[in-house]
Structure formats: structure tokens, C-alpha cells
Amino acid sequence: MLTDEQYGRRIGDRLRHELDDVHASPDLVRKLRHRRTRRTWAITGAIATPVAAAAVVAVVVSTQATPHRSTTAAPTSAASTSAQPRIVTVAYIQAETVKALGQGTQYVIYSKDTYESGYYETWTDKATQRYRNDIYTRLPAATQAGRAGDGKMTLPSGPPTAPSGPPHRQQSHAVKGPGESQEITTVDWENKWWSVDHLRDDKPQTPIPDPTDPDGMRKAVAEGKVELVGQEKIGTVDTHHLRVIGPRREYKIDLWVDSTTYLPVKETAVKAGNKQGGDEFPESKGEAITYTWLPRTEENLAKLTLTPPADFKQLK
């Protein structure tokens, strides 16, 4: 009876005998090396390709853990609970951003728009088509916002000299209603008057879309060009920095979206100039809009209400 060692040796001899006439193709090793080299260069090329040159196929490695829910109490190892890299494409980010904007009716959107001579704050409730803004300016009264004949308010364009002093609240506006049937209540805090007007024309004055409007952003993405600049932290929020170049290069929007919710956190936008190269999109002087997405609580909805003081004069 054969021992285990003898049995194993006999099987090995038999296999070698059976394979004596089996030979690998002379170029097999060369082909395998060639395939591996092509795969290596393909991966390297995808990672190294500049975002601007491959906007819709650029990739970024995110080190955030993918949120998930577990219905079991099974133990997890330290490795499985740590943040794992994941590939995120520009197409995925822009799709998730448009989808997140579609849920905008669930929020009161607070935004702060900073410009050279001050800033204004806006609270928007898309569910009821209402918004309110408060204008803060450092300009003297002669150069501040005014009331146009069509009921629209004109923002200050800036005095000949640089403004000075801390910003103060100059006017507030509360708007309700859709499209051309909007009603606007204005309170002028410095001149102590208020009025109610109807907006005659709601046509946009600029080709730059509203980054909180899903339809406008969907159109901008479809007709323009989207680039992924990278990942940046805005305050304490991790964001994806996107750049949207409008159709016919009419404008440029830099948009930072929350890497978890994909809702806008910050935006800068500029219309195209008449020059090419570095002057094609002249940079604005520190203008930026920041966004905070608040729950639709009674406290937050109350921000949209504008009540004129009793001693203010009503203008007809």
C-alpha cells in the first residue's frame, strides 16, 4: 500500500508526463505584459487628465465615508467603519446637485450676497413662492437704492468715492406670488416710508441662472460646460467646487456644493467680457453669495414676513 508521500509523487510524475507536449504560445508573455501596461496607462491617464480638458469624465477621490443604514447589530471592524475612498465623476455630482435642488420646497433658503458697498440677505420659500430681502449699505442716502416706476427696487451702484462706515439696513422687500403677478412690499428704514406695488415685468435681466433653481441649472448644464475644479472646505463644510461655463460663453459660475447633500453652499458669478484670454470673464470685486438651507419651521418662515412700523408713512 502506498504512503501519502509516495502517492503524491506518483500523481506529480503522471501530470508532468501528460503536459510534456503542452507549450505556451511564444508571444503569450509579451501579450500579457502589453495588456497590463495598457491598463496601467489608462488608469493613470484618467487620474492625470486635467479637469478643464475632460469635464464630464474627470474623477476625484473622496475620502468621506458613504452614509448607510444598518438594520442589524452585527459587529464591524475598525477598517470597515473608517472613511473609504470612492470615485466621484462630474456627471454624478451635477446630476445629484440638480436632484437635490428639486427638493428645494422643503427648505427656507437663506442667502447673503456681498458686494462692494454692503450686502443683502434673502430668505426664500419656494413652496409658497415668497421671498424677503434686507439691504445693508454703507452708502450715503443720495446714492442708495430707489423705487422705480414699475415698482422694482434698484440696488445702489456705488458712489464716486469708496463707501465707509459699518453697513446699516436701508430697505427691506417682501415679495409674493408667481411671475408677473408678484406683489412687493417695501419698507424704507431711513426715510420711514413703506409701499405696496405690483411687478409689471419679471423677465430676467441677466443670462446667469439662479443656482437654487433646478430647471435653470439643468438647462445650464445641458447647454453649457461643467468642470470639476476640486474639493474644498467652505467654513466647516466639505464641498465639491464646480465651474459652469454658460452657452456661447455668456457667463461663468463657480459653485460650491455640499459633498453630502449636494446643495449649494457658495456661488460667485460673472458675465462674459468682450475680450479673450484672462479678461474673458472679468473677476468681480469680492462679490459672493453664500447659502444656508433651513428647515421650514415657524421660526424660519417668520423671516419672510415684513411688517411696516406704525409710524412709517405709506406711499401710494
Task: Phi first, then psi: give them for residue 15, nearest 5 degrees.
Answer: -65, -45
Cβ 106 vs Cβ 128: under 8 Å? no
Pick the CATH number of 26-67+82-157+166-316 from 1.10.10.10, 2.50.20.10, 2.60.120.10, 3.40.47.10: 2.50.20.10
Render 118-174 in DSSP notation, one character per residue: EEEEEEEETTTTEEEEEEEE-S-GGGS-EE-TTSPEEPP---SS---S--EEEEEEE
Label residue 274 left, alpha or beta by phi (over 0 means left) and psi (-120 to 50 means alpha).
alpha
What's residue 41's pLDDT?
A: 31
Question: Counting beta carbons within 10 angstroms of the beta carbon of residue 176, is it exposed (0 to 12), middle (13 to 18) or buried (19 or more)?
Answer: middle
The beta-strand segments (E) located in the chain are 59-62, 86-89, 107-115, 118-125, 130-137, 146-147, 153-154, 168-176, 183-188, 193-198, 225-234, 237-245, 251-258, 264-271, 288-295, 313-315
Selection from 217, 227, 212, 221 nearest residue 89 by Cα: 227
Selection from 149, 152, 199, 196 nearest residue 179 by Cα: 199
Label residue 246 left, alpha or beta by phi (over 0 means left) and psi (-120 to 50 means alpha).
beta
pLDDT in tens, 144-157: 555 544 444 555 55
Query: Model-level pTM?
Result: 0.66
What's residue 14's pLDDT?
A: 60
Task: Phi first, then psi: give them for residue 233, nearest 5 degrees.
Answer: -105, 125
Residues of the chain short of pLDDT 70, as ranges, are: 1-87, 140-164, 179-180, 200-206, 273-286
What's residue 36's pLDDT?
A: 34
What's residue 66's pLDDT?
A: 38
What's residue 213's pLDDT?
A: 92
What's residue 59's pLDDT?
A: 42
What's residue 123's pLDDT?
A: 97
Question: Counting beta carbons within 10 angstroms of the beta carbon of residue 116, is it exposed (0 to 12), middle (13 to 18) or buried (19 or more)?
Answer: middle
